[in-house]
Amino acid sequence: MKKLLFLIIPLCLVLLVHCATEQKTTLPTAISQEKCDAPIWKVGDSWRYIYDNKREWEYRVLGIEEFKNRQIYVVEDLYGLYKKGFDTKTLQHRVDIGPDRKKVVPMTDWGWRYDFPLYVGKKWEKMVSGTAGSGSIQRNYVLVYRVLSFEDVTVLGGTFKVFKIEQEQRDLTQTGVFFKTYLWYSPEVKREVQFRLGPAFGSWTSSGQGYELKSFRLVDKQPTTPEVKSSTEKVEPATKPQVSPPEKPKISIPVSPPQSTYFVTVTGTSANIRSGAGNEFPAITIVKQGDKLILLGEHGEWFNVRLENGQEGWISKRFVKE
């Protein structure tokens, strides 16, 4: 009997080890969660967006400066009068920079705030204050952000992998009053590629428009230009080397809007096209009554337009009609 036990016990141990090994190898492997750190913008990076009403705007990075002990990206608004300063860590719009280099902090404080790194399931909050709409009453709000998913989205500028982020803005002075907005952030583009308004609850009414990315340029994704060597030696056509065209970069290049885009017609006898949205900017050319101009954007009482020859500038709304 003792001999039999000596044979059975080792056999049981072998079976237990085998079963434990089998269980371990059949457990599902954990899938690593996609994460995204804060982007690094470079001088020359640019993004062009289009609103639901077909108006356009474009940002271009000019450099980095310090503002109130923070590093900010100085960004040119090609269709606006002011440059903008975005926090390098959160991409929050922190300051406007006028033509005289004077820095002005925006009156409202509830712009989008990222909390990098981003990953699905992340949530963060921010208490802010400001005036809503055209009112003058100071209100307190809480902004609640949630990363809902990591998905594919297709916009005019292309198809991208994006983090879909929900922002819920609650009015702390009125219970049950809040609204939601949604933003799709692309690590490849280094900015959002789409923004949409969500539902509003209580006495809040959501207004404004959504927008999406139309095109973009990133310095670190620009194709390299082939080196061209000059030579005085005459080369016959038959002996010219055949060079394959460079591979298309994974970026969207800005294109002129189609002819179905908005037009404005000059109504005055003549009008100046200026380099910026204001009479303080120099006139770069003159248009005549009846000329049709492609409408690109607007700022205050000025339209950003493109002429038939491709030249772009600004014209006062007083001298055109839509």
Cα-Cα-Cα-Cα dihedral sign, residues 45, 50, 51, 56: positive
Task: Go through the domains of the chain in sequence order and give each one's CATH number.
Answer: 46-217 (2.40.360), 263-321 (2.30.30.40)
Tell me what the mean pLDDT of segment 249-263 comes to.
Answer: 48
Chain-centre distance for alpha carbon 109: 19
Rounded distance between C-alpha atoms, residue 46 and residue 189, angstroms: 10
Residue, of 143 and 282, whose pLDDT is higher: 143
Percent of the chain with pLDDT over 90: 31
Percent of the chain with pLDDT over 70: 69
Question: In a 10 Å sphere around its CB, with 0-12 CB exposed, 13-18 middle and 19+ buried, how is residue 284 labelled?
Answer: middle
pLDDT at 197 over 50: yes
Using pLDDT thresholds of 50, 70 and 90, give the confidence band for residue 203: low
What does DSSP assign to residue 319? Answer: G
pLDDT at 272 over 80: yes
Residue, of 116 and 28, whose pLDDT is higher: 116
Beta strand extents in 111-174 (DSSP E only) = 123-131, 138-155, 158-171
Q: What is the pLDDT of residue 137?
A: 63
Query: What would the pLDDT profile of 57-99 be if each residue is shown by its tens digit?
Result: 899 999 999 998 899 999 998 777 788 999 999 998 888 888 8
pLDDT at 12 over 50: no
Whether 191 and 47 have beta carbons less than 8 Å apart is answered as: yes
pLDDT at 232 over 50: no
